[in-house]
Each structure stands twice: as C-alpha cells, then as structure tokens.
Structure 1
Amino acid sequence: FITLIVMIGGLTMFAVFTGVVSAVMMQRLKIVMDVKNLELDELRNHIVICGWNRSGHLIIEELHADPSMKHYPIVVVAEFTETPEHELKRIDLSRLYFKIGDYTIIDVLESVGIYHAARAILLADATHPRSDQDRDARTVLAALTIEKLHPGIYTCAQLLDRKNNVQLRVAGVEDVIVAAELASHLIATSVRNQGSVDVLAELLTVQIGNQFYNIPLPEQWVGKAFWEVSQLLKDEFDTILLAIERQANGNRETIVNPPKDRPVMLGDNLVVIARSLPQVAGGKS
C-alpha cells in the first residue's frame, strides 16, 4: 500500500513538473513570437524571400557575406512544416525572420512588410510536393501580386521553365533566373573552355576573390569612349569594365564588350569585375 502511494505521488509530481515546464516553454515561445511579429511590423528596406528550396540557405549565406548587404534584415515566408534554422548554422539569426504562410496571399505579404521592402526574391518553392508547372505558377502569381502592391521594389524570380518568363517581364520583374539553364550553360562552357569554371566560380560568389558589381557612371565620365572608361577604372581602381547597362524605351539593355569607341551616356551603369565595390565618386543613380 505504501509503495502504491509512493508510486502515485511520484507520478503526480512528474505530471505537475511536466505541466509547469510545458507552460513555461509555451509562454517563452509566445513571447518570442510576439517580439518577432512586432519586429516584422517595424522592418524597413528589408529583403523578402518567398518560397524555400535547397538553394535558400546558400542565397542567404551569400547575402550575409556581402559587406554592403549583411545588415539588411531578411524575411523568409513559405508554407513551412518546420522552419529551416538548422540549415543556417553559419548565419547570424538575429536579422533573419521566418513567417509561415502562403506568400501568394495579399494578407501574408502585408504581414512581412512588403510595402516597405527593398528587394524580393521568389524561389521555386519546394516546401510541399507540387509539379514544376504549379511551382512556376505560384512564383508568377506572387510576382504579380508583389509588383502590384509595391511597384518600386526590385524583384528577382527563379523559374523552372523559361516559357513562364513572359508574364514576369510584363509584371515588371527585373531579373529571372532559370537554374537548369544556367547549370547547363556552365557545364557546356567548362567543356568548351577547360578551366573556365574556376573563373566563373570565383566571380559568382562574394566570399572569395573578385566579383561582379554594377555601379553608376560618374558624371565626369559622361561622353567618354568605352575604352577610356575602361582604362580609368583599371588605372584608378584596379577594376575591369565588362559591360554598359542603360535604359532604352523603358527597358533595360546590357551591352557586353561594346566597341571601344562607343561613348558612355548619362544614366548608364557600368558592370565591372573587382575585389570589392569600387568607390567611384560622382556617380549618379
């Protein structure tokens, strides 16, 4: 009888202890979630990532490795069953937020501060099993919604099928990435030019060596020939000029390796290779 009482008492104490611990943990989780939601309301000039797949953590690592972007808050919104903090062990999570929800819905986009965001990245979402066509359709729908809510935002979208690019261009999405195409081009390029993949691998990451940068043309260089600007950049900033980017009839035009005598124009941007962002004075966005 005494043994039975002891056993019942022990079980009761264990149940009470478990209940208290669970209550404390739930309260702490609620406080954390409330704080996070409050912070989301206050975010400005942040980056919103819609959707998640195996490349998500690599994108965030690259953004955090860039000195000019590592202070940007990042909000990831997707229909997570479990948020992927374990994939981001090398990332400072204090500036990273996760929102569980359907990013094709206006209320969800508003809850992550889309009106105040500086950039939006749309990934081919893999949080739930869907066909490639359905994944692209959700990307297109989200892009249309984001551009409608915040026309001034910069948007980059990942597609699985190039044929779905038309709607994104009409919506005003600035850049579209078809990952399978890029991978195929990289493989073919490495076969045609052995060793070139090492060059591309360095240029496509901010974590080592040289990278691509897009900088505004300094006003004092307007009217100079391409080769003159190229020489100035190399002499003064140890930077290589690759291309000119300009607006033509409302569309962006990128002229890679133009003729040496082609003049640069007011409003042009310069696409360059450098070890860090060249601090060229007099540029005008």
Structure 2
Amino acid sequence: MQRKKEPDPTFPISRERFWYFLQREKLDRLILVLVIILAFSSIGLSLLEPNLSITDALWWSIVTLTTVGYGDITPITFWGRVIAIVNMFFSIGILATFSATIASILVDRKIKENRGMTNFQFKNHIILCEWNYRAKVILNELRSNTQTKTTPIVLIASIDSKPVDDKYLFFIQGQVSDDTLNRANLAEAKTVIILGDDSLDNLARDAKVILSTLTVESINRSVYSIVELVDSAYIETCKRANADEIIVGSEISSMLIYQATINHGITQVISDIFSPEDRNQIYKIPVPKDKVGLTFLEVFIYMKQHHQSTVIAVQKDEEGEVISNPPTHYILTEYDYLIVIAPN
C-alpha cells in the first residue's frame, strides 16, 4: 500500500496542510464527536421541549458544552433533562481533551522553535550563519540601529537551543546546507552573514566559510552575502564563490594595531565611529536629486555646511564599487550613493 505523502511544511497554509494538521493532532476526531453531541442534543431538545426551536436548542447545547451556563434556557421535561445530563458529562471530557490538545500543540511548537526545528517564511530578512562572540556583537549592533531593530534574523548554528532572548531572532539548528537554508527561506532573504566556526583551525574554518558561500550563492544569487575570513589568501577564492563583501578579521585587527603603534590614539576614532553609543555614525545615502551632476567637492562642501556630515566615499549603485576619498572633480550621478559620517 502506497504511503500517503505528507504536505510540504515550507509552503504557506493551504487546505491540504490544514486537514493534515487536524489529522496529525487527532483534532478531526474531537471535532466529529463535538458535532455529533451538538446535533444530538439540539435535535433531541427541539423535539422534546415545548416551544423550543432548533436554533434555541443549538444555543443551549453550545452554552452547556462550554460550561458557560447562562441559564436563559432550561429543560423542563424528563427526557429533556436526561439529554442535558448526558451533554454535561460529555462536556467535561471534551473540554478537558480539547484544552490539553491545544496546550500540547503550543508547548510542542515553542520547544521546536527553541531547538531550531521549525521553518520560516520571512521576506527581506537577515540570515546569520554560526554563533559566537562576534555574532552576539553583530546582533546587538543590529538591534541598536532603528533600521534593523525589528528585522527578522534567522540564526543557523550547531548549538542546542536559541542562544539569546530576542523577539525577532529565530533559530534553526544545524550546519549551513541546502536544507537549513531553505528552512530559513533563503530565496527571499535580503542579506546573509557567514561567520567562521571558532571550533576549527584557521584552514578548516576558511574552507567551511567558502563552502557555505558556494551553497548560499547556488540557491540565491541575488542575496547580498557578507563573508568573514581569517586568511586573506582566500579572498580570491571567496570572490569566485560570488561573495559580495569579504572581511578578513585578522587583517583588520593587525592594521588597527599597526596604526595605534605609529599614531597613538588613532584607533579611538574608529571605535567612536562604529560604536552605537557615539553621536556620529557611518551612513549610506543616495545623492540628493538636486546635486546630481555636481562635482564631489561641491557636494562635500554642501553636506558639511547644511548637514554637519563628512563624505568619505562614493559607491556606484547600491551594491557597486566603492571609491574612497574620490577626486574633487568626480561627477556624481543619480545612481551614486554617498557614504558619510553624520550625527543622524
């Protein structure tokens, strides 16, 4: 006998999924018993009780079954009261069973969410791969930014349960793979952050990051992928894997230490810019429409005079090439973005 195919849980709610859910939780039997009792008591009372319509009998049956008991309708005949007694006894069992079933479903769902066993259907969300100290910092920074304060973030990591109490953080247990990425709805994600696995040595860590990048890009080429490497030697490999932005953590740390050695205190500027508690932050904004066609120097002066903002770079298109400290004669187009240090 061919086994009945279960509905795919990654698709939105449909009639097929709804009936599968009722059968799986045995709610279909409970509903059937409930309908039979209501039909039996309603029809029986309307026939046995004088001046009691079928609608009034149905109303009385529902009120009694739910143990509300308004008392506006009361059986007065012997057999009417017999039906009422049967209804009352059955009500206790049905109500208890129904309440226990619903509670069990909710508890099971919460356990599955915390253990990373559910699927998600978000759109324009962020997927965070791996959990470590850096991931925690990234999450805190994203939540401190008004633009991403409530953005759904789906974490994919090989840990036992959801690591922090964040209303908009959702957890999927496991390694980065086709299955976990599909459960995170990578097809409609906006950004994927791929961090290194701290439990591995540097070579294996970067290899895992590159493999994860290949998997992500093979499923959704349009998603913006941010990749963390240890060794800069694998930057070109990551580029061939179509990573959009590559960050070499060890290289950045080394350069900051070098700058601190040569120019004491210079790293404080970097820390202030990236700290969410500091007044000035880095922002990316489109070129004002009335400034399109002007030179970089003209726009630089305008932004400083009118917005107390310093333009440090120009990006061609929203995700294109970044030109740091452009030449003064650079002509800005309607597709350019300004990267500025500004108070807001």
TM-score range, shorter chain: 0.7 to 0.9
1:82-104 Cα offsets, whole Å, 9 max, x none, are 5422xxxxxx611011211111x
**C-alpha distance 172-207 of structure 1, shift in aligned 2 (>3 A):** farther
Unaligned runs of 5+ in 2: 1-102
1:16-67 Cα offsets, whole Å, 9 max, x none, are xxxxxxxxx9976523045677984231211100112221111100000001
Distance 1:207 1:145 in 2: 36
1:99 counterpart letter in structure 2: I
Distance 1:38 1:115 in 2: 19
Match of 2:201 among 131, 134, 143: 131
Distance 2:134 2:276 in 1: 16
Q: Which residue of 2 aligns with 1:261?
A: 329
Determine which structure has more spread, i.e. the larger CA radius of gyration: 2
Name the Cα RMSD after superposition. Answer: 2.4
1:149-169 Cα offsets, whole Å, 9 max, x none, are 111111111011111111221
Q: Which residue of 2 aligns with 1:17?
A: none
* 1:217 Cα deviation from its structure 2 partner: 1.6
Match of 1:106 among 178, 182, 189: 178
Q: Is the 8 A contact 1:65 1:207 kept in 2?
A: no
Distance 1:79 1:273 in 2: 37
* 1:207 Cα deviation from its structure 2 partner: 3.0
Q: Which residue of 1 aligns with 2:166?
A: 93
Secondary structure at the aligned position of 1:41 is classed as coil
1:258 counterpart letter in structure 2: P
Bigger relative contact order, structure 1 or 2 (CA pairs below 8 A, ≥6 apart): 1
Q: Which residue of 1 aligns with 2:193?
A: 121
Percent identity (aligned): 28
Q: Is the 8 A contact 2:259 2:266 kept in 1?
A: yes
Q: Is the 8 A contact 2:113 2:170 kept in 1?
A: no
2:179 counterpart letter in structure 1: D
Match of 1:199 among 269, 275, 293: 269
**C-alpha distance 64-39 of structure 1, shift in aligned 2 (>3 A):** farther
**C-alpha distance 75-229 of structure 1, shift in aligned 2 (>3 A):** same
1:173-225 Cα offsets, whole Å, 9 max, x none, are 22111111111111111222222111110111233221111112233212211
Q: Is the 8 A contact 1:62 1:207 kept in 2?
A: no
TM-score between the two structures when normalised by the length of structure 1: 0.77
Q: Is the 8 A contact 2:113 2:171 kept in 1?
A: no
TM-score between the two structures when normalised by the length of structure 2: 0.65
Unaligned runs of 5+ in 1: 1-24, 86-91, 277-285
Distance 1:63 1:180 in 2: 22
